[in-house]
Amino acid sequence: MDWHIATACVRIDWEALTAIGTIALALIALVSAIYAIRQLSDFRRESRIEHLMALVDQFERDPMATHRRTLGATRAPNGQLISLDLNNPSPELHDVMNFFEHMGYLLDGKYLNLEDVSVEFHYWILHVWSDAKKLIKSEQAENKIYYEFFEKMVTRLLNYDRPRTGTLELPSESEIADFYAEESHLPSGSPIPRQRRLKRRTS
């Protein structure tokens, strides 16, 4: 009788140990999975930051610096915005638009974070878009894929800002003129500052 009881106890203890071991392995697997997910998330975040910093560097340095400066002087000579010739736009405008199209492509592919793009480039994206949207729409009439990622990025930025600002307004013509005037007078050399909008001119 005692032998049967002892055997039963051993079997129960073994089953208990097996259950505990299974639970322990499951917990280890869960912890490992959580750690791997966090590592992957950190890697993706670091990768997005690297892409963003590369764009910041490209935007501040030549040849993009010269394109921006020349575009500002071309679009707003003497601080006054001139009418955009849709049939013969400044080549520098296309250079800047192509830069933002590439950025929009990276954002759409999740290589960039929307908040990071907003912090670093919101001011420039919306002012260039506001000035160039008629040109973009005319080119999209020929082929709808032209600057589609630039347009998507603008829409996402506006929707991102709406809860904070309560509006989807784009820069006005006078604000675009001020923007280009600032760009045209950025110091020569590399890198150049991506300064925020200055106080409105009184003259």
pLDDT digits (tens, 9 = 90+) for 44-80: 678 788 989 999 989 988 899 999 999 999 999 988 9
If you average pLDDT over residues 11-35, what whole number do you get?
Answer: 66
What does each C-alpha distance from 119 to 80, 102, 113, 185 come to in angstroms?
Answer: 28, 17, 10, 23
pLDDT at 111: 95
**What distance in Å separates the CA atoms of residue 16 and residue 6, rounded to the nearest whole number?**
15
**What distance in Å separates the CA atoms of residue 117 and residue 161, rounded to the nearest whole number?**
12
Question: pLDDT (tens digit, 9 = 90+) per residue, 76-92?
Answer: 998 899 999 999 999 99
Lowest mean pLDDT among 28-32, 120-124, 143-147: 28-32
**What distance in Å separates the CA atoms of residue 123 and residue 195, rounded to the nearest whole number?**
9
pLDDT at 201: 35
Short-list 153, 124, 147, CA closest to 134: 147
Written as one string, the DSSP assignment of 97-111 is HHHHHHHHHHHHTTS
Contact 121, 128 (CB under 8 A): no
Q: What is the dihedral of CA 129, 134, 137, 139, to 10 degrees?
A: -100
Through-space distance between the first and last CA atoms of the chain, rounded to whole angstroms: 107
Q: What is the pTM of this model?
A: 0.73
Tokens of 62: 């030549």
Average pLDDT, whole number, for the chain?
81
Tokens of 90: 């400044």
